[in-house]
Every structure is written in structure tokens, then in C-alpha cells.
Amino acid sequence: MRPKAAQKCVGDAQEARPGAIAVNSGAVDDWQSYRIGEPLRLEFWKYPEQRLHYWWEAQVTEVRDSAVLVHMPLGFEFHHESKGKVVRVEHQAQVAFFAGRWYSGGPDLDAQGKVLEYYWNIQTPAHFEPERIWQYDLELDVRCKADHICQVIDQEEFAVKVGLYPPQWVQAATRAVEEVQLHMKEGRWPVLPKGEEGAWLERI
């Protein structure tokens, strides 16, 4: 079973009641059915609570053999259900979702397309469905500046949840942090050439 599609209204989002997901789940569904320009809703859920954590909307800009890239324009809305906040983001961003990988992410960009920061979510492998992509958030995140220097964050939150996650998830999440760091070091898509170091972006 998978989380049911949540209502698009913030007030209704908590009405969605997801089911259980197989702990050894890998890439599922058909990401290659997406079309350029197609709008998608990106959802991150909490486990074992089975509740919607946060979501936003974006458009498909690229479809590869094993990944989808989405774009969020200047001023897009970020809906943080856990904190009861809706934030209008004052920069644009791209996020790549990879089939079978335990992370997603990409660059935050200014209006001219200059990299401000990279943000990578550690998560269960993405589920690609009509009109949405969903996954479970696994607390850990990796932030990287434009010069590709990275830091791992939210390790305390992850430590608290370790006993609640299936052992396979804990191992995969730990490996995913290393994979993200290597991804950045090698400058793999959608990572852009190194830029000048800047200040960290403020996030909720």
C-alpha cells in the first residue's frame, strides 16, 4: 500500500491516510511517462506516523533513463504541513528524483540562474505516480554551497528516529549521505560547475 494522494488544499492535507510500504521497496512506477512541462506535486511523508510532512508543486523539465528533473520558479510556494506554514520562496530551484536512489536534490538558483546552494534530501526511493512523486523523509539532509563544500545536517533528528525505521532504511540512509557527497565531488547531473562560496540560505 502507498500513501493516498493528498488533497491540494493545505487544510485538507492531513485527511490523507497512507498505508504501509514494503521496507525493501525500491524504485516503482513509471517516471518515463512524464512529459516536459507537466505539473507535478512533490510529497515528503513521515514514517512511522504516516502523515504528510511537506510538499510543493513543480514542472518537469527533463526526463532521463533513471531520473526526472523538476523546476520551481521564483516565488513558488512551499507547504510545510508539520509546522503549519506556507512559505513563498524567493529563489528558483531544480530537484532531481532518481529511480531507486535514497536521495533527491539539486541547486537553488537566483533569478539569473546563479547557484546559491544545493540541497539534498535523504529519503526512501521515490515513487513516481500520475501527477505526483512521493517518498518518506528520513531526517538527514546534505547542504552544499556553490563551491561544492557540503555539510550534513539533522543528524540528531535521525538518531532519534533510528529505532523506528526498518534496519534496511537506516543502513541505506547512512550510505546515501556518502553517495550525495561523492555525487557533488564528481559534479554529476544536475550539479553545475563550481561557483563562489556564499552565505547559507535561510530555511524553515
Domain membership of residue 35 (yes or no) is yes
Name the nearest CA neighbour of 107 among 68, 144, 66.
Answer: 144
Residue 40: domain span = 30-186
CATH of the domain at 104: 2.40.380.10
Domain membership of residue 148 (yes or no) is yes
Name the nearest CA neighbour of 23 among 132, 172, 134.
Answer: 172
Q: Which three cell numbers stand for residue 62?
A: 527533463
Q: How much is the pLDDT for 12? A: 37
Q: How much is the pLDDT for 2? A: 55
Burial 127-166 (b: 16+ CB within 10 A, else e): bbbeebbbbbbbbbbbbbbbebebebbbeeebeebeeebb
Of the candidate ranges 20-29, 30-39, 119-128, the one whose mean pLDDT is the lowest? 20-29
Residue of higher predicted confidence among 28 and 180: 180
Number of domains in the chain: 1
Domain membership of residue 91 (yes or no) is yes
Domain membership of residue 155 (yes or no) is yes
Residue of higher predicted confidence among 137 and 27: 137
Q: How much is the pLDDT for 141? A: 98
Domain membership of residue 177 (yes or no) is yes
Domain membership of residue 113 (yes or no) is yes
Query: What is the 8-class DSSP label of residue 124?
Result: S
Of the candidate ranges 77-86, 178-187, 193-202, the one whose mean pLDDT is the lowest? 193-202
pLDDT in tens, 48-73: 999 999 999 999 999 999 999 999 99
Confidence of residue 26 (pLDDT cuts 50, 70, 90): low
Q: What is the rounded average pLDDT of the residues 144-172?
A: 97
Domain membership of residue 71 (yes or no) is yes
pLDDT at 8 over 80: no
Name the nearest CA neighbour of 50 among 107, 100, 110, 6.
Answer: 6
pLDDT at 10 over 50: no
Name the nearest CA neighbour of 99 among 136, 131, 68, 145.
Answer: 68
Whether residue 31 contacts residue 135, with contact meaning beta carbons closer than 8 Å, is answered with no
Q: Which amino acid is at 5?
A: A
Name the nearest CA neighbour of 112 among 195, 3, 8.
Answer: 195
Q: Which residue has the cell 547512512?
A: 174
Burial (Cβ within 10 Å: 0-12, 13-18, ≥19) of residue 193: exposed
The predicted model scores a pTM of 0.89
Contact residues for 183 (Cβ-Cβ < 8 A; gap 6+): 120, 191
Residue of higher predicted confidence among 110 and 10: 110
Domain membership of residue 74 (yes or no) is yes
Q: What is the rounded average pLDDT of the residues 138-143?
A: 98
